[in-house]
Amino acid sequence: MQKINALVCAAPGELAVEKRGTPVPGPGDALVRPRRIGICGTDYHIYEGKHPFLRYPRVMGHELAVEIVEAPEGSGFATGEICSVNPYLSCGNCRTCNAGRLNCCENISVLGVHRDGGMAELFTLPAKNLLKADGLSADACAVIEFLAIGAHAVRRALPGAGDSVLVVGAGPIGLGVALFARLTGALVQLRDLDEDRAARVAEIAGVPALDAAKRDYTFVFDATGSRAAMQDSFDHVAPGGTYVMVGVVNDTISFSDPDFHRKEMTLKGSRNATTEDFQRVIEAVRAGEVDVDVIITHRTSLEGAARDLVTWATDKGGLIKAVIQID
């Protein structure tokens, strides 16, 4: 059997390119060749041993631009077509799936987390999770997923023209939230402890950066995954306002119940993204509302990622989004 290269995290702190057998698509699956793989905070956490829901060894990678090698008959996908990927594999049978909330599937399996993902020369996935992206580059297809998480969070809250919005956390998810909140016409500000990073991400999103936030925003979005920051954000919600937790932390969050009721605050969680959110982002990229070229700041190869991902896990100077490039 022909062998392919795959970047495997065998255990926390152990990352190397290995030879694996060529994957064989099952019923309803497509065989694809990754062309770009975005490196996500989740991937760094897997390498560092900080992900609570993972079994090793694992091939990471869920921010994907793929080339179709083989697709099921009647799927509508053609050999050579470049697509984006929805990495959230839902069961289609549980209570939440039947309610149309596939992003909250009770049996969800995420590429690169619960099953092997796209840091490989070839892999298979359900064809229904491929996203047509006619006219978009491989670079553009690779940023769709994390931007869709931001778009979903904004859709959960539904800010509108003139609403005041605070986004806490200047990582890629915070960038996505700030960008799509701004596109609603809201007045958006972004905050991060790293003021240089906040300034750079805010410029990309087209919003102001803050070194300190006021305390009366109609909408507050946390994209930090920091317990302290998530608790502090309650204080920035205006009376009648909404707080959306986009980041997740493996810990307990507490807040003042009297203050929560005094403000009649709305608290929402935001998980993953839906097909509608992916399509919203694809349309925004196609319309020129998202500048992919300034988002992707670092590149490496599949072989080079075994070294570079380790470096970028701790040294994020100037880093907005890194991608593994396979041509």
Taking only the tens place, the pLDDT of each residue in 87-101 is 999 999 999 999 999
Whether the per-residue pLDDT at 182 is higher than 80: the answer is yes
Pure H helices in 89-246: 95-98, 138-157, 172-182, 195-205, 227-232
The CA distance from 298 to 202, in Å, is: 18
Contact predicate 29/126, CB 8 Å: yes
Q: How confident is the model at residue 53 (pLDDT cuts 50, 70, 90)?
A: confident
And the tokens for 101?
A: 């909330």
Mean pLDDT score of the chain, rounded to an integer?
96
Q: In the prediction, which pLDDT does 54 show?
A: 85
pLDDT digits (tens, 9 = 90+) for 242-292: 999 999 888 899 999 999 999 999 999 999 999 999 999 999 999 999 999
C-alpha–C-alpha distance, residues 303 and 7, integer Å: 8
**pTM, full prediction:** 0.96
DSSP character string of 46-88: HHHT--TT--SSEE---EEEEEEEE--TTSS--TT-EEEE--E
Measured between alpha carbons, how far is residue 294 from residues 58, 143, 290 in Å?
A: 30, 11, 9
Judge contact between 312 and 17, C-beta under 8 A: no
pLDDT in tens, 222-244: 999 899 999 999 999 999 999 99
